[in-house]
Structure 1
Amino acid sequence: MHTRTLAPIALALAALGGNALAQSSVTVYGRVDLSLAQQADAVDNKEVRNGSGSRLGFRGNEDLGDGLKAFFQLEHRFNADDGTQSTTRFWEGRSLVGLEGTFGRVWLGRDENPAYTYSQSVADPWGTDTVASNGSIVNGRIGTTRYSNTVNYRFAIAGFTAAAQVAEAEGNTPATGTGTKKPYSLGGSYANGPIVIGVGYENPAAEEDYWASINGSYDFGMVKVGAFFGTGHDGSDDKRQSWLVSATAPIGQGQLRASFGQLKNKDTDVILDRQVAIGYHYALSKRTTVYADVVHEGRDDIPDNYKKTGYDFGIKHNF
């Protein structure tokens, strides 16, 4: 993502702190993404909505010498359609600080969990954004994208990346069921040329829940194909399974995206989500994209007044 340096702030702080910021950098970044949309599996409601999470963020690092760096990141999420906060939490996206060196990367605060980063979101061609999101399929309606009050570690070498996260029970509500245990998550990936493989294991705050997943993709150049499988138990100890197949293909200055997947409660034999989606995202520049997506959803006992087909037409600008 393109960023620009906060030179005036850095210069002002340097004037106050002498040479303390000589090896430091701070950047501001963000995204505004809005679409005209009708969601699937929802009542008839054509609206202007966030296609993906509109955001404003700050990140920076300081070279401490001998290969050691300090870093931080703060990310605010907002609804670009009306300017309000997306949640009551101001730094909804991220709020973290840590150290990085030859030992890897260690940080504290609020952040994505590694199962989501390395196995769930990357398996979805839309990255769990827009009306075509496969979020409920890749997280089983069990996992949670982010946790607060976390301790994190990540290490990468020779194409392998491994990460772990543990959180306090405080401030982390399970997606299903009740419970107060400390959530934890593990994730990893291997990338070698056109091949990418990822795994994830997430144990949220409820007493019985967990979600394990594996994904893989192969890039043939003209098309990249992917597959995902997830299994686990919800907070009521019901077994859930999901699968997803996907494909993306570069066409002109854009990308064609397609997916088909399902989430099922294996104990009750109820389909919780089944959807097929297709979309095209066209890059007007390195920072600005226009897009259109169509998704058709079906599940057991979907209400008669709900739309089964959704769509969006949007524009996304990164800065």
Structure 2
Amino acid sequence: MKKAALALSILAASTSAAWAQSSVTIYGIVDAAVRLSTNAGATAATNGESITSVVPGGMSQSRLGFNITEDMGGGLKAIANMEHRFNSDTGAASAADFWRQSWVGLQSSEWGRVTIGRQYNVLFDAYTPTYSSFRYSPYIEAFKPEVGFSLGARNDNMVKYLIEVGGFRAEAQVSAGEGNATTVGANGKSMGGLLRYATGEFAAAGAYLQLEDTAGKNVKGWTVGGSWSSGPWYVNASWGRNEFETGFNPTLNITLLGSIAGALTTKTPVATGGAGDERDIYMAGFTYQMTPQWNLGLEYWHTKQDGLGASTAADGKTDSLAFVADYAFSKRTDAYLEIDGTKVGGNLMFANGASKRQNYMIGLRHRF
């Protein structure tokens, strides 16, 4: 009995020592806002109506996440992440995929990091840390055209490799199709890469991603841009493009178009709705930290779509401008006022027939 007790004591001590090298961090955001949208009636007959709603994330999508790290010695770590997105206004999951991120990997101080699972793609990884809309809050969750060009932002079944040397970062991703390309977040096979360089006040990045649907048709995405940060100032500028192979899943094509500035369609009905051969986005803006509590930001987006083949029925453009004033009560809690507007031109229009829309939003966010 004494030997058994001693063995159990040694096992408990060794287990405790192993656990002491591991950490689990729980993090999250709860964000809710009141948003007024003009020209937002459901039909052409009522498209001049304004609609007021409570949105489950004005500046950030509400989420609950877990970061797991185990230090295995010799500069090697096991890492994992699970992140759930939810609607703060109803408590419901924000999407069918309960875990918006779910990956596991290994990280070495010598050879970089390998992660496997559902995770952000290389286009999103270029935009977010390098030239996203605002420094203190990468995007306006309720209005983020550049994320619409990130081809779903996340991909399933992904293997991603990342390495950083000095100011350089390189990433490569591949994912298995597994016969699933019916939603933007499960876009079939993928392959892509990213290069980023940051030094002092400047950062620049470029990325390429190719996705394949179940019919073997491709969409290709590019982005390149940079930012300058100095004291209270942050300035960003970038370009992005999506090119669709003829026959690419039209449902995904139209979904990606709608993620740019809301539900868009064509003035003259075409066989594939609002689908286009290629889209470009140009964006530029700045953030100014007026005081330790006040951040002011302004961002402009211009997008252009060329229609399918020789047809001009889906040709069009959008011009959007957004202003944000954010006040930090503390390091974790802030309130914000946001105004954005979009004008649609060419053969594109909002789904209700409107050609322009203004949005006004005031909200509260807590991060932990």
TM range (shorter): 0.7 to 0.9
Q: Would you say 1:208 and 2:214 are equivalent positions?
A: no
- Checking the alignment, whether the CA contact within 8 Å between 1:143 and 1:175 is kept in structure 2 is yes
Q: CA deviation at 1:243?
A: 0.4
Q: CA deviation at 1:123?
A: 2.7
5 Å matches for 1:219-298? 219-236=229-246, 238-252=277-291, 253-267=293-307, 268=312, 270-298=315-343
AA aligned to 1:230 is G
Alignment RMSD: 2.6
CA distance in structure 2 between the aligned counterparts of 1:162 and 1:287, rounded to whole angstroms: 31
AA aligned to 1:259 is E
Distance 1:240 1:174, change over 3 A: farther
CA distance in structure 1 between the aligned counterparts of 2:118 and 2:107, rounded to whole angstroms: 17
Q: CA deviation at 1:62?
A: 0.8
Q: CA deviation at 1:16?
A: 10
CA distance in structure 1 between the aligned counterparts of 2:18 and 2:54, rounded to whole angstroms: 46
Task: Kindly provide the CA deviation profile for residues 267-287 of structure 1, in whole angstroms up to 9, marking residues without a partner as x.
Answer: 548334320111111111111
Distance 1:220 1:23, change over 3 A: closer
Gaps of at least 5 residues in structure 1 are: 1-13
AA aligned to 1:245 is A
CA distance in structure 2 between the aligned counterparts of 1:239 and 1:38, rounded to whole angstroms: 31
CA distance in structure 2 between the aligned counterparts of 1:266 and 1:40, rounded to whole angstroms: 27
Q: CA deviation at 1:133?
A: 2.1
Looking at secondary structure, tell me which structure has more helix per residue. Answer: 2
- Give the percent of matched residue pairs that are identical in Structure 1 and Structure 2: 31
1:153 alignment partner in structure 2: 161
Structure with more relative contact order (C-alpha pairs < 8 Å, separation 6 or more)? 1
CA distance in structure 2 between the aligned counterparts of 1:235 and 1:290, rounded to whole angstroms: 43
- Checking the alignment, whether the CA contact within 8 Å between 1:168 and 1:182 is kept in structure 2 is yes
Task: Kindly provide the CA deviation profile for residues 106-160 of structure 1, in whole angstroms up to 9, marking residues without a partner as x.
Answer: 111111112112236743225333334233xx543x6111011110110011111
CA distance in structure 2 between the aligned counterparts of 1:281 and 1:111, rounded to whole angstroms: 29
Task: Kindly provide the CA deviation profile for residues 31-63 of structure 1, in whole angstroms up to 9, marking residues without a partner as x.
Answer: 100000134774332111122211111111111
Task: Kindly provide the CA deviation profile for residues 288-308 of structure 1, in whole angstroms up to 9, marking residues without a partner as x.
Answer: 111111001011334455761
1:123 alignment partner in structure 2: 132
CA distance in structure 2 between the aligned counterparts of 1:82 and 1:15, rounded to whole angstroms: 45
CA distance in structure 1 between the aligned counterparts of 2:362 and 2:164, rounded to whole angstroms: 38
Distance 1:41 1:24, change over 3 A: farther
CA distance in structure 1 between the aligned counterparts of 2:212 and 2:171, rounded to whole angstroms: 19
CA distance in structure 2 between the aligned counterparts of 1:62 and 1:41, rounded to whole angstroms: 52
- Checking the alignment, whether the CA contact within 8 Å between 1:120 and 1:200 is kept in structure 2 is no
Matched positions, count:
300
Q: Say which of 73, 84, 109 aligns to 1:76.
A: 84
What is the TM-score of this pair, normalised by structure 2? 0.75
CA distance in structure 2 between the aligned counterparts of 1:152 and 1:40, rounded to whole angstroms: 42
1:47 alignment partner in structure 2: 53
Gaps of at least 5 residues in structure 2 are: 1-11, 42-49, 247-275
Q: Would you say 1:163 and 2:171 are equivalent positions?
A: yes
5 Å matches for 1:85-100? 85-92=93-100, 94-100=101-107
Task: Kindly provide the CA deviation profile for residues 236-293 of structure 1, in whole angstroms up to 9, marking residues without a partner as x.
Answer: 4712211011111101212111111111113548334320111111111111111111
